[in-house]
Structure 1
């Protein structure tokens, strides 16, 4: 996966629902079209992030795991 994020937010060391609440806070502050990279180490986020995107209408671009850290990519599509 070769996505170039505009902003990275580190939510490692937190557990459900904190990575999602952190993502929601960041998404409120950025412009439509911005790609946010969320770093997390909670395995629950693998289901939570795409579900949150589906609920909010933002675009889930995918994720990768690197050295035990999950990198999620979300594009803001809603004003």
Structure 2
């Protein structure tokens, strides 16, 4: 089975573009998938977690990198385990 994970490179974009592009990508992803987002905008450290909380996405990880931040976001889905 193919991994539902996707990556989104938003380095170099300023607020509000990282959140808007993250929202657009997540809306087109299947339930239960994960999105890895790379940003350089310092405000993304505040904006992306807030966006996730407000829209009921799960922020799995938020990590400071050498040039910005990396976020791992899970889209809620019908993930059932047998």
1:18-57 residue pairs with structure 2 within 5 A? Answer: 18-57=17-56
Contact 1:58 1:78 (C-alpha < 8 Å) held by counterparts = no
1:76 aligns with 2:75: yes
Q: What 5-or-longer segments of structure 1 have no aligned partner?
A: none
CA RMSD of aligned residues (A): 1.7
The TM-score with structure 2 as length reference comes to: 0.83
Contact 1:53 1:60 (C-alpha < 8 Å) held by counterparts = yes
Secondary structure of residue in 1 paired with 2:38: strand
Distance change (3 Å), C-alpha of 1:78 and 1:20: farther
Q: CA deviation at 1:68?
A: 1.2
The TM-score with structure 1 as length reference comes to: 0.86
Distance 1:55 1:46 in 2: 15
Larger radius of gyration: 2
Distance 1:40 1:11 in 2: 5
Q: What 5-or-longer segments of structure 2 have no aligned partner?
A: none
Contact 1:57 1:78 (C-alpha < 8 Å) held by counterparts = no
